[in-house]
Amino acid sequence: SKGDYAHFMEKEIFEQPAALENAMRGRFAADGSTAQFGGLNVTASEFRHIDRLMFCACGTAWHACLVTEHLIERFARLPVEVDYASEFRYRNTPLGSNTLFFVMSQSGETIDTLAALREAKRKGHRVLAISNVVGSSIAREADGGIYQHVGPEIGVASTKAFTSQLLIGAMMALYLARMRDMSFTDGVQFANALKAAPDLVRRVLDQAPNIREIAKRYAQSTDMLFLGRLSLFPLALEGALKLKEISYIHAEGYPAAEMKHGPIALISERCPSVFFAPAGEIFNKIVSSMQEIKARKGAVIAITTEGMQLPAGLANDVIEIPACHEAVLPIVAAIPIQLLSYYIAVERGCDVDKPRNLAKSVTVE
Ligand code: F6R
């Protein structure tokens, strides 16, 4: 039941601290420096010999794969490729013999993802799955995998399933990195950062009333842009998808620096932009992109790290997220875009849990 919440989506957004705890439970090694997964059915020496990973998924899960790519490449220094399951299936891409193949699917029933799994298996690859539904078609047909353990997700727009996929992707990156060049100390720090994620998420959830007020100011927009860089570029894609599917506002996600290569033509006082501007090495570059938007009269909603100073008058609205480890940043950054989309859709009177034209799992090609 929805309990005191107006929608399942709202309940599932607020459930995320507990969901993340569940997804992590029992999954850190006793020495606290790495992750462990029970059901992968891949030995350490087999893992040691892989030289590439490939992930296939659809929609929100595909965005989670893009973040996972960033973290695995950054920390484990292994090349990763991510494809839409529906494209992988028909494009006959070569898979090296030491490529480990993953599919990611919350429901475990998405037909395109299942078909990608079958195609990789047909080619003789071992296939692993990240899924939330125990005994789903994808979980049954995979050779091994990781369950998300976040309980049923009822709202059509994925929220807690997404952040738990991000968490498992980060744990995979930790596991693979610790088999390679990451030190014990860095591993402990990484693991401790993941363990702190639920509390950081709670702190962003506490800002819901503020985010609701911001949402009211933008609820009548016809177009919106979401801009982010590095690990938050996929979060920009996810923000745009979330807003589109539940509020029917046209939205697009881009890496912030791509704006000047075309999309900036859309900017006017009628097209606000949501910027991810976390503390980090490219903060100043993101601020320059904001200035380009502002010069064209576009409103700026900045999601930035507590304590960061944006130039006066640059952002129309600011949502602060706590400072955190790079591996946790995408999880923490997901919360403001979920709440913003949710409150905008509610403000517009949309049927948030059952958006038009959408089903919870897509079992047709
Ligand atoms: C968006 C959403 C969809 C799903 C996609 C894949 O909020 O829910 O984009 O992420 O249909 O679904 P799963 O993960 O069940 O394969």
What does 48-70 look like in DSSP terms, one character per residue? HH--EEEEEE-HHHHHHHHHHHH
Q: What is the pLDDT of residue 273?
A: 97
Triad 230, 338, 263: Cα angle to 5°: 50
The closest of 93, 95, 99, 91 to 46, measured between CA atoms, is: 99
Please tell me if the CB atom of residue 59 comes closer than 6 angstroms to any atom of ligand 1.
yes
Q: What is the mean pLDDT of each run of 10 residues along the chain (365 residues)?
A: 93 98 98 96 92 97 98 98 96 92 98 97 96 97 98 95 98 97 98 98 98 98 97 98 97 94 90 96 94 95 96 96 97 98 97 85 81
Q: What is the pLDDT of residue 209?
A: 98
Please state the atom number of ligand 1 nearest to the C-alpha of residue 360: 8
Please tell me if the CB atom of residue 166 comes closer than 6 angstroms to any atom of ligand 1.
no
Q: Model ipTM?
A: 0.98
How far apart, in whole angstroms, are the C-alpha atoms of residue 211 and residue 310?
A: 18
How far apart, in whole angstroms, are the C-alpha atoms of residue 285 and residue 172?
A: 30
Strand partners, 1: none
Q: What is the pLDDT of residue 313?
A: 94
Q: Yes or no: say if 98 and 137 are a contact pair by the CB < 8 Å rule.
A: no
Gap between the terminal Cα atoms of the chain: 31
Q: What is the pLDDT of residue 357?
A: 82
List all residues 6 or more positions away from 122 whose beta carbon is below 8 Å from its beta carbon.
none
Residue 210 is encoded by which pair of tokens?
């503020």
Please tell me if the CB atom of residue 19 comes closer than 6 angstroms to any atom of ligand 1.
no
Q: What is the pLDDT of residue 161?
A: 98
3-class SS shares of the chain: helix, strand, coil, % to 5: 50, 15, 35
Q: What is the pLDDT of residue 354?
A: 87
The closest of 170, 342, 143 to 242, measured between CA atoms, is: 342
Most informative mutation of 12, 13, 60 for ligand 1 (most atoms within 8 A of CB): 60
Residue 123 CA to its chain's centroid (Å)? 29
CA of 59 from ligand 1 middle (Å) equals: 5
The DSSP 8-state label assigned to residue 321 in this structure reads: E
Residues known to be catalytic: 360
pTM here is 0.97
Question: Maximum distance among all alpha carbons in the chain?
Answer: 58
Most informative mutation of 58, 133, 358 for ligand 1 (most atoms within 8 A of CB): 58
Please tell me if the CB atom of residue 158 comes closer than 6 angstroms to any atom of ligand 1.
yes
Q: What is the pLDDT of residue 356?
A: 81
Q: What is the pLDDT of residue 312?
A: 94
Please tell me if the CB atom of residue 304 comes closer than 6 angstroms to any atom of ligand 1.
no
